[in-house]
Amino acid sequence: MHDASLNQPKSLIKATFIGMWALFIHLASFFSSAPTSIKEIAASVLMLSGIYCAYHRPDTLIKTIKTPLFFGYAVFLFTLLYSVFISQNPYKSWSEVSSLLIFKLFLTPLAIAIIMQTRKMSGFVLCSLAFALVATQIGDLLQYFLEWLLPDQYPVSDAYAHRARADGLVILLPFGLLLWPQTSTIYKRILLTVILILCIALLIGTNTRGAMLAAAFIGLLWLTLCLKRHEQALFLALAGVAILATFTFAPSSILSHLTLTTSNGRAGDGVWGAAIELIKANPWLGYGYGQYTTAYNSALPSHPEWIFQSAMGPHNLLLGQWAEGGVLLLLGTLLFCLLMMWYPLTTAFRLEKNSIDQSLLLALWLSFTGQNLVRGIVEMPEFNFWGVLVGVTLGVLIQQRKSQSIMKE
């Protein structure tokens, strides 16, 4: 296959190399406990490398913005910007969203997609995201160690002390799972199995039912789509042992939360009902980005039946988008989510089974769908990592289109 890095200026090759390793550090440190300065430097180098590559290879930028997925993503970004303009407090909304919108949601995916067009690096990206899962686990284990070592500073009694780790564990879990088809030796598979079991154990420790629901969805689809029958039986047995161990050894605070059969204050006059009432009062325009809490607290005196006496958030992706950005942000989010679910999955099924590109695309699809569409039913997911998922997806899709055109020639 033709290597995109051949016949390129040395300066461009160097910029791509720097950008590739900046991407590795950016991914590895994203959900970890690494110093903020390291994260910011890696992100800055990544974006500067992307800008340099786009300057010397403008076709990479043109190919990126001409894709249907980028069009849907641009519509979402436009509607997100719209939610700032219609906000009851535009200055506050812009101060909250400006860094996220400009750097993480706009420049980062463009830089990743451009750099991935200059050389074949799907395997590198898949391994980087899997390594990011390990880095996130190390950070969580370190937190457990500090809780044991310094109980006064890290109270173990806090059932939600590890909740912040749930995002990284759910988002990165598929990339660890999709390394399975790429590992051939028994030792690598044993190591990978240990990492995956550890991930599930740490997810249980986050005491977040939405995260565990997403992990179950991801795991079941992975078993169905990627594994042979004997491998499916093995992992189902391991899952059974893990569930039994959880109910045997997990603290009562976690077990009581896991075994809840109610919506835990979501349905009825809980967070969902309150969000629906706020939407009914202003369905078309919305209240503005980051203004849900203000709108909730303002409406609270008129709704004594609401369970929570302070804003808890809508705990649902679509309800949250509708409340803050009205119909436009809701439709923009729906359009982007549908495209982000459609293109990676349909392209993956056209590729050679268990190829690197297919594994990466399936992992991207499982990550986005599990975190935002499954977990997003019961929680309000963060958008911080959307830019990375979009950028990598665009890079793989454009590379695949290029490979097909070369094969036709």
pLDDT in tens, 125-163: 999 999 999 999 999 999 889 888 887 777 665 667 788
> What is the C-alpha separation between 287 and 401, in angstroms, rounded?
41
Q: 46 vs 256, which has greater pLDDT?
A: 46
Predicted pLDDT of residue 331: 98
Contacts (Cβ under 8 Å, ≥6 apart) of 264:
209, 270
Predicted pLDDT of residue 1: 43
Predicted pLDDT of residue 155: 66
15-31 mean pLDDT: 95
Is the separation of the CB atoms in 218 and 370 below 8 Å?
yes
174-178 mean pLDDT: 96
- List the single range of 81-95, 191-205, 247-261, 305-319 with lowest mean pLDDT: 247-261
Question: Where in the chain are the domains?
Answer: 10-265+307-408
Confidence of residue 236 (pLDDT cuts 50, 70, 90): confident
Q: 70 vs 155, which has greater pLDDT?
A: 70
> What is the C-alpha separation between 361 and 347, in angstroms, rounded?
8
2-9 mean pLDDT: 58
Q: 2 vs 139, which has greater pLDDT?
A: 139
Per-residue pLDDT at 403 exceeds 50: yes
Per-residue pLDDT at 49 exceeds 90: yes
Contacts (Cβ under 8 Å, ≥6 apart) of 237:
none
> What is the C-alpha separation between 100 and 10, in angstroms, rounded?
33
Top-confidence range, 140-144, 241-245, 365-369, 374-378: 365-369
182 DSSP 8-state letter: G
Confidence of residue 229 (pLDDT cuts 50, 70, 90): confident
Predicted pLDDT of residue 312: 86
User: For 294-303, what is each residue's pLDDT tens digit?
Assistant: 999 999 999 9
Q: Is 168 exposed, middle or buried (0-12, 13-18, 19+ CB in 10 A)?
A: buried
365-378 mean pLDDT: 95
Closest alpha carbon to 347 in 332, 365, 334: 365
Place of tokens 């992307």: 50
Predicted pLDDT of residue 402: 79
7-28 mean pLDDT: 91
> What is the C-alpha separation between 326 and 320, in angstroms, rounded?
9
Please, what is the angle between helix 356-368 and helix 122-149, to 10°? 50
Predicted pLDDT of residue 207: 84
Instruction: Tell me the percentage of the chain whose pLDDT exceeds 90.
Output: 65
358-370 mean pLDDT: 97
Is the separation of the CB atoms in 126 and 175 below 8 Å?
yes
Indicate whether this model's pTM tops 0.95: no
Mean pLDDT score of the chain: 89
Is the separation of the CB atoms in 324 and 275 below 8 Å?
no
Distance of CA 195 to the CA centre of its chain: 19
Predicted pLDDT of residue 2: 47
